[in-house]
Every structure is written in C-alpha cells, then in structure tokens.
C-alpha cells in the first residue's frame, strides 16, 4: 500500500518550485544590479580621470588657483578653486533658503495639518520634486533674472543669488519629504505623554518631537546638500557660468557640474582637457558619496535609537 504512494518529499520539480527559483533569480539580478552599476560607473570615471590626477594634475595648483584654462596653448591651466567656490557658494545659499523652508513645511504637514489639507500638501510637495531641472533653470533664466536686475539694481541677474534661490527651491521638496518621514517616525505616544502633562503644541514639538527626530532631520539636510552639489542644468542656466571666485550674492559663478556639462562635448576623447573634466567628476562623486553615506548612517542610527 505505502509503496504505491508517490514520494512527496523528493518530488520538488513542480510548478511552484520552478517559479520560486525563477523569481529568486530575477530578484537577485535586480538587487545586485544596483551595486554593479555603482561600481561600474565609478570604475569608468576613475579609469578616465584617475591616471590624469595621479600623473599630470598639480593638486596644490588645482585646489589653490582659480585659473581654469583647459584649452590654453601651449600650456593649459587646471585651477579648480573658482569652480569649487562656485559650487560651494551656490549650494550654501541654497541651503540657507531650503533648510528653514523645508523644515517649516515638514513640521506643518507632520504636526499641524490634518485630513485633506495634509494629503493635498504632500501630493503637491511630491509634484514639486518631480519638476525637471531644466524647467527650474528656465525659470531662473527668464523670470528670476529680470526680477533680480530690477529689485537690486544690478547689471546681471544670472548670479549666485539666482542659482541659490533656484537650487534652494529644487532641494526643498525632497528635504521636506525626508524630514516629514523623520517626524512621522516619532511615536505618537511621546506627543500624547507630553500633551497630557500640559505641554502646548509648540512645546511638544520643540522639546520632544524635534529632538527625537533630530538625526532624521540632519539626514534630510545632508541629502539636500548632496542634491545641490550634484545639480547641473539649473545651475548652469542660472549662475551666469563665469569663472570667478564669487565675493557676494550678485557675482556670477560657475559650478563643477556645469563645467563638465558645458565643456565635455567640445573635448577630444583622451585629451588632457577631457581627462581633467573626469577629474572634476571624481571629486563630485566622492563628495556626494560621503554626504549620502553620512545621511544614510544618521537615518539608520535615528531608527535604531528609537527601537
């Protein structure tokens, strides 16, 4: 009797088993591809630029001179200070605008708004994050430019101020979303406990919610900084794209990213100029990598502190 029954334990080649294997393989490839792409991109950028950095580029000159004349004959100059200062000043100004703005919106959405208002605001913020950067650049070029010229009575409106405002508005939505997630992760029992002890809404936010969300909020700010650092098109269009160490918000400037975008098409593949642009790419890659890593560590630390 028992011998005629099929041996179920060994019989693994049924449809469910096959689909399980296929699904696992597809998911594994999908998961691993993210790592593969990151490594491949870094390898490509490093291959094009690393040799140049190590052999030809005068690093002390690069970090101390604003003279960026990559096409100069016979002796090109690769001074990156103006570009670094341009990126830093535009990003810094953008953060001055985006940090208070996005934290305010996040606190309003997370702590005050309810029901339909809250849902509508969240959708609008996400919509704002989806506006293409070239559109923001266009706004900087055609709307903000004349406004700055009229308002401050300056000859040129394509300046650090223009690019900073545009970049701040661009970075604010993503920062708002991350900051709001951080506030949402604060257990409601904390708020309830504090309110039951007679704290006002603002006291609850100030003394309980913000401190316990602080790591997530810092991560939100860092991601905004990373976004500002890496942004290209809007900065290219709004900053004036002039090689110049800016001394004030009404000076034009040029960003690292914008330099690569504007010049790479004109260079001969394998030339020093081409490789110098890849060196800028390596610098950008390293900076954004460190910022994102830091933000990620903080988000994880914030989550583990609460549990």
Partner 1 sequence: MADGTQPRPAQAPPAGPASTPDPSAAAICVRDFNLWYGDFQALFDVNLQVTRGKVTSLIGPSGCGKSTLLRSINRINERLGYVRTSGAIELLGQDILAEGVELTPLRRAVGMVFQRPNPLPLSIRDNVLFAYRLSRGGKTRRADEDQVLQKALEEVLLWDQVKDRLKRSATALSLEEQQKLCIARLLPVKPSVLLMDEPCSALDPKATRAVEELIWKLRGEYSILIVTHNMAQARRASDECIFMLMGEVVEHTATGEMFVTPKHQKTADYIEGRFG
- Please state the closest distance from residue 27 (CB atom) to partner 1, in A: 37
If we measure between CA atoms, which residue out of 217, 190, 227 comes closest to residue 301? Answer: 217
The answer to whether residue 194 forms part of the interface with partner 1 (CB under 8 A) is yes
CA distance 39 to 50: 15
Which CB atom, from 104 or from 132, has the smaller least distance to partner 1? 104
Which residue among 4, 7, 189, 304 contacts partner 1 (CB under 8 A)? 189
CA distance 246 to 158: 12
The answer to whether residue 212 forms part of the interface with partner 1 (CB under 8 A) is yes
Cα→Cα distances 177→113, 123, 165, 219, Å: 15, 10, 19, 11
Which CB atom, from 214 or from 292, has the smaller least distance to partner 1? 214
Which CB atom, from 186 or from 222, has the smaller least distance to partner 1? 186
Which CB atom, from 53 or from 121, has the smaller least distance to partner 1? 121
With 0-12 / 13-18 / 19 or more C-beta atoms within 10 angstroms meaning exposed / middle / buried, residue 236 is buried
36-72 per-residue burial string, b: 16 or more CB within 10 A, e: under 16? eeeeeeeeebeebbeebbeeebeeeebeeebebebee
Give the binding-site size for partner 1 (rule: CB under 8 A). Answer: 24
Which CB atom, from 103 or from 238, has the smaller least distance to partner 1? 103
- Please state the closest distance from residue 192 (CB atom) to partner 1, in A: 7
Which CB atom, from 111 or from 180, has the smaller least distance to partner 1? 111
Question: At what angle are helices 272-306 and 15-55 packed, to 10 degrees?
Answer: 130
- Please state the closest distance from residue 243 (CB atom) to partner 1, in A: 46
- Please state the closest distance from residue 295 (CB atom) to partner 1, in A: 21
- Please state the closest distance from residue 275 (CB atom) to partner 1, in A: 51
Name residues contacting partner 1, limited to 105-134 (CB under 8 A): 114
Please state whether the peptide bond connecting residue 232 to the residue before it is cis, i.e. omega within 30 degrees of 0: no
CA distance 57 to 272: 9
The answer to whether residue 59 forms part of the interface with partner 1 (CB under 8 A) is no
Give me the residues that bind partner 1 (CB under 8 A), please. Answer: 114, 187, 189-203, 206-208, 211-212, 305-306
């Amino acid at each position: 009797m028992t011998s005629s029954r099929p041996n179920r334990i060994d019989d693994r080649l049924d449809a469910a088993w096959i689909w399980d294997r296929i699904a696992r393989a597809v998911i594994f490839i999908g998961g691993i591809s993210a790592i593969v792409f990151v490594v491949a991109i870094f390898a490509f950028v490093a291959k094009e630029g690393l040799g140049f950095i190590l052999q030809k580029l005068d690093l002390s000159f690069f970090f101390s001179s604003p003279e960026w004349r990559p096409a100069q004959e016979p002796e090109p100059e690769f001074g990156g200070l103006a570009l670094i200062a341009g990126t830093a000043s535009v990003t810094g100004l953008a953060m001055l605008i985006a940090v208070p703005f996005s934290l305010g919106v996040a606190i309003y959405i997370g702590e005050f708004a309810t029901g339909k208002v809250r849902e509508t605001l969240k959708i609008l913020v996400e919509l704002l994050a989806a506006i293409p950067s070239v559109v923001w650049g266009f706004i900087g070029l055609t709307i903000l430019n004349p406004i700055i010229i009229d308002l401050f009575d300056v000859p040129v409106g394509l300046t650090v101020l223009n690019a900073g405002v545009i970049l701040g508005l661009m970075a604010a939505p993503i920062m708002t979303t991350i900051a709001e997630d951080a506030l949402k992760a604060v257990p409601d029992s904390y708020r309830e406990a504090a309110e039951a002890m007679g704290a006002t809404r603002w006291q609850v936010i100030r003394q309980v919610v913000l401190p316990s969300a602080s790591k997530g909020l810092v991560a939100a700010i860092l991601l905004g900084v990373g976004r500002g650092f890496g942004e290209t098109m809007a900065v290219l269009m709004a900053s004036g794209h002039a090689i110049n160490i800016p001394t004030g918000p009404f000076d034009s400037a040029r960003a690292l990213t914008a330099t690569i975008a504007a010049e790479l098409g004109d260079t001969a593949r394998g030339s020093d100029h081409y490789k110098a642009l890849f060196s800028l790419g390596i610098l950008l890659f390293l900076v954004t990598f460190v910022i994102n890593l830091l933000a990620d560590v903080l988000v994880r630390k914030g989550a583990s502190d609460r549990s």
